[in-house]
Amino acid sequence: MDLFDELPIEETGLTAEQEIRALREELKEQNYKYYVLSAPTMSDREFDEKMHRLQELEAKHPELFDPDSPTQKVGSDLVESQKSKVESNEGFPRIRHRYPMLSLANTYSREEVEEWARKLPAGVEIVAELKYDGLSISLWYEHGQLTHAVTRGDGTEGDDVLPNIRTIAGIPQSLVESRKSRGPHKLAQWGVSKVESLISSDIPDRLELRGEVLLPWERFEALNKQREEQEEPLFANPRNAASGTLKLQDSKEVARRGLTCYLYYMLGEQLPGTTHYERLMQAKQWGFPVSEAIKVCHSVDEVMAFIAYWDTERKNLPVATDGIVLKVNSLAEQEELGYTAKSPRWAIAYKFAAERQLTTLKQITYQVGRTGVVTPVANLEPIQLSGTMVQRATLHNEDFIRQLGIAEGDKVYVEKGGEIIPKIVGKVESQESKVESQYAFPTVCPECGTKLVRVEGEAAWRCPNEVSCPPQLKGRLEHFVSRKAMNIEGLGSETIALLYDKGLLHSIADIYDLRADDLAAQERLGEKSAQNLLQAVEGSKQVPWSRVLFALGIRMVGETTAKKIAKRFTSIDALQWASKEQLMAIDDVGEQIAENIVAYFADMRNLEIITRLQAAGVQLAANSDQQSAVSLPQVLEGKTIVISGTFTEHSREEYKQMIEDYGGKNSGSVSKKTDFILAGENMGPSKLEKAQSLGVKLVNEQEFLAMIHV
């Protein structure tokens, strides 16, 4: 049975017109959350169901046609001006696609796939490919050089995220080079001059390759782990992580995250080949990353076998896939079949159903984290899902629970799809649950009884009792000893809990007062492990200042930010007198972080801890090697600088680094706060226009180098 059938169809009690309007609103909102914020609040499945419902209603009511309906448009990842809060997506040049970037008709039903295939002219070949679950990108090559990399945007215009795309290892920057760089073996075989003549003759002057940018599972998990440690919101799945990454202004960070890419479509004029498959193989020959999992099928049975095989085999792939794409192979036949407003008629996507189960929500409990955030957790009647037993699922926050309208005792649907973390996606409507839910979030901390506070604009409730709320104290200890912080092995969460309960550990400074006999007296800690632990504590006194700063656990000061702060303020003595403005002059330090730092040092209890750490010999200042690295004159201190265009003397990344090294702050977008623009050749037109309208000064490469006396 198709999973759709299991879902209760809600009786809306609305007229068709009202329902159409409501669906259009809801889907537009979801499109924005999905494409722009990279943080959808609806499962793909639910989105597709609502889209199908809207299509169905619009087909029945042609008089209500609206060209602005989400059924007529592909989702947009562009940031409209009123939404420019989304900081990370600002500052990329907007470019008009040469060919519209469409989406695909999709279905979850194999019967519908069969139906689509059977309607095609007899004997057509169908190319079956994996449907990669990332975000689409269009790569433009001019005379063999990569010149633009444009996101889908609204299908008509997209953002040129070229600097970020350049960080992806498999994407050739230059087709000539990529051909040459195939290694000495091939070179020797062909001879360099032959390679070049091949290139110039068979690569069209203008070439466009489309594909999917992805963050591999492994990278995604590592990124989320890091974000958890740094108290940043987690990405729900690799697709959101990839899309969030591609919108970053800092290409170095993009490079660190390790995106990857598969290309599946070639466009342009005077292209080789008469079939889609031939073009993909040609692309592969030119050095593009093209998947191995492609098959030319000659019958519906072959298509079905491909689907069945990959439905299980995809679980072993390093990247996320969410279905199969089927395309008519012959380009002439594709042309004949043509397009709808939104998608080609010659292709269809079959989407794999996320595994979904029905179970009972037994109880909602609450977890208090290191920073006091109270997270509701669903305790479920255990259920088998995608091979694992699921009994808990996060409910994120109060709003999430209210949106789902769930309460203890409800029958709920649990899903595990692109998300690794199981998620509650809905509930079975019953008579009782139609009555307004009586759910209420706790008003006091479940651990220490302190009245909870909700910071304006945040979804989370927080326990403000930093001083004595046990999970907050234990959490701070766990963070302090963690690998990327002080790296004190042998002090895991269980040992921390044990020593905390025994009254031996309350604050991070207590770690340096631990004695061998105190430890050895603990039943669960043998003499040997006590010794090892003390050795690790001793070793942590060599950890450099930047990591100690991270280890202190100042709210929102993650690993990278701590490094930048430690570079500017080379000792805690200097840092504790820093003003908010001085802190904000550091790249990456916004107002909130600066305020947190100032507040941290305004608290006597923290100062006492610092004094004790200092007495214990913890590195609270950079050693002389590190200091020499920062002895550059801070001539750009307090200056916010935007880089735009291309440069000849140094690379863009090098200029970014110079700005930081000389005390300045990089920013991706031009605003009133911009002190000047470091302007290269071909500066983005939108930046230029904005600079002119705000009267922001342009500084060329030479002028900039003179400024810093290089």
Known catalytic residues are 131
Do β-strands 676-679 and 640-644 pair in parallel, antiparallel, or remain unpaired? Answer: parallel
Taking the C-alpha atoms of residue 246 and residue 213, their distance in angstroms, rounded to an integer, is 9
Over the window 464 to 483, marking each residue x when it contacts ligand IVH by CB under 6 A and - when it does not, the resulting string is --------------------
One residue of 55, 103, 529, 606 binding ligand IVH per CB under 6 A:
103
- Between strands 206-214 and 135-142, the pairing is antiparallel
Other beta carbons less than 10 A from residue 385's beta carbon: 19
Q: Which of 562, 563, 575 is nearest to 606 (CA)?
A: 575
Indicate the length of the chain as a whole number.
710
Q: Which stretch binds ligand IVH (CB under 6 A): 125-133, 357-365, 545-553, 634-642?
A: 125-133
The distance of closest approach from Cβ of residue 100 to ligand IVH in the complex, given in angstroms and rounded to an integer, is 9
The correct pick among 136, 397, 540, 674 for binding ligand IVH (CB under 6 A) is 136
Gap between the Cα atoms of 704 and 659, Å rounded: 10
- Which of 203, 347, 677, 688 binds ligand IVH (CB under 6 A)? It is 347
Q: How far is the CB of 104 from ligand IVH (least distance, A)?
A: 4
Helix (H) / strand (E) containing 559: helix 559-568
Is 44 a residue that touches ligand IVH (CB under 6 A)? no
Spell out where 284-354 has E strands: 294-297, 321-328, 347-351
Nearer to ligand IVH, 54 or 636 (CB): 54
**320 part of the interface to ligand IVH, by CB under 6 A:** no
Give the C-alpha separation, 10 to 682, whole Å: 55
Q: How far is the CB of 567 from ligand IVH (least distance, A)?
A: 40
Size of the site for ligand IVH (CB under 6 A): 14
Least separation in angstroms between CB 59 and ligand IVH: 20
Long-range contacts of 148-152 (CB under 8 A, 24+ apart): 148/95, 150/95, 150/97, 151/77, 151/246, 152/35, 152/74, 152/75, 152/76, 152/77, 152/101
- Which region among 228-236, 343-351, 526-534, 619-627 touches ligand IVH (by CB under 6 A)? 343-351
Strand partners, 267: 208
Residues 612-631 touching ligand IVH, rule: CB under 6 A, are none
Which lies closer to ligand IVH via its Cβ, residue 209 or residue 424?
209
Output phi, psi for 414, to 5 deg. -115, 135
SS3 38: coil
CA angle 439, 442, 444 (to 5 degrees): 165
Q: How far is the CB of 49 from ligand IVH (least distance, A)?
A: 15
Q: Which of residues 396-435 bind ligand IVH (CB under 6 A)?
A: none
Residue 538, helix vs strand vs coil: helix
Binding status of residue 129 toward ligand IVH by CB under 6 A: yes
Inter-residue long-range contacts of 655-662, CB under 8 Å, 24+ positions, other chains counted: 655/704, 656/250, 656/252, 658/708, 658/710, 659/587, 660/564, 660/567, 660/587, 661/630, 661/632, 662/632, 662/633, 662/634, 662/635, 662/636, 662/637, 662/708
Tell me the per-residue interface mask from 203 to 232 with ligand IVH, x by CB under 6 A, - otherwise: ---------x--------------------
Contacting range for ligand IVH; rule: CB under 6 A; set: 342-350, 470-478, 495-503, 521-529: 342-350
Between 347 and 412, name the residue whose CB sits nearer to ligand IVH.
347
Q: Which is nearer to ligand IVH, 372 or 418 (by Cβ)?
A: 418
Which CB sits closer to ligand IVH, 199 or 349? 349
The region of 86-94, 128-136, 388-396, 668-676 touching ligand IVH under the rule CB under 6 A is: 128-136
Shortest Å distance, C-beta 448 to ligand IVH? 48
Cβ–Cβ under 8 Å, residues 613 and 512: yes
Among the listed ranges 126-134, 453-461, 583-591, 687-695, the one in contact with ligand IVH (CB under 6 A) is 126-134
**Residue 5 gets which letter from DSSP?**
G
Secondary structure (DSSP) of 199-264: HHHHS-SEEEEEEEEE--HHHHHHHHHHHHHTTPPPPSSHHHHHHHHHT-S-HHHHHHH--EEEEE
Point out the residue whose Cβ comes nearest to ligand IVH: 136
Strand partners, 206: 142
Residue 132 makes contact with ligand IVH by CB under 6 A: yes
The Cα 417–Cα 351 span in angstroms is 11
User: Whose CA is closest to 232, among 476, 480, 560?
Assistant: 560
Which of 349/385 has CB closer to ligand IVH? Answer: 349
Which residues are CB-neighbours of 287 under 8 A, at least 6 positions away? 172, 175, 178, 179, 181, 182
- The smaller minimum CB distance to ligand IVH, of residues 150 and 325, is found at 325
Residue 571 touching ligand IVH (CB under 6 A): no
Angle between helices 16-31 and 44-60 (to 10 degrees): 140
Measured from the CB atom, is 177 or 311 closer to ligand IVH?
311
In angstroms, the CA 56 to CA 48 distance is 12
Backbone angles phi, psi at 703, to 5 degrees: -60, -40
According to DSSP, residue 64 is labeled G
Q: Determine contact, residues 30/41, Cβ cutoff 8 Å.
A: yes
Minimal distance, residue 208 CB to ligand IVH, in Å:
12
Stretch that binds ligand IVH, among 229-237, 344-352, 459-467, 673-681 (CB under 6 A): 344-352
289 binds ligand IVH (CB under 6 A): no
Supply the minimum distance, in Å, between the C-beta of residue 78 and ligand IVH.
Answer: 15
Q: Smallest distance, Å, CB 703 to ligand IVH?
A: 42
Asked if 265 interacts with ligand IVH (CB under 6 A), we say yes
Within 8 A by CB and 6+ apart from 672, the residues are: 694
In the bound state with ligand IVH, the residue whose beta carbon lies nearer, of 265 and 550, is 265
* CB nearer to ligand IVH: pick between 129 and 250: 129
Q: Could you give the C-alpha distances from 703 to 635, 688, 696, in angstroms and in order? A: 14, 18, 15
Residue 344 makes contact with ligand IVH by CB under 6 A: yes
* Nearest distance from C-beta of residue 271 to ligand IVH, angstroms: 15
With binding defined as CB under 6 A, does residue 104 bind ligand IVH? Answer: yes
Distance CA 563, CA 560 (A): 5
Q: Closest separation between CB of residue 343 and ligand IVH, Å? A: 7
Does 264 participate in binding ligand IVH (rule CB under 6 A)?
yes
Among positions 83-102, residues that touch ligand IVH (CB under 6 A) are 102
By beta-carbon proximity to ligand IVH, the closer residue of 419 and 587 is 419
Q: Is 550 in the site for ligand IVH (CB under 6 A)?
A: no
Least gap, CB of 173 to ligand IVH (angstroms): 22
Which residues of this chain interact with ligand IVH, rule CB under 6 A?
102-104, 129, 131-132, 136, 212, 264-265, 325, 344, 347, 349
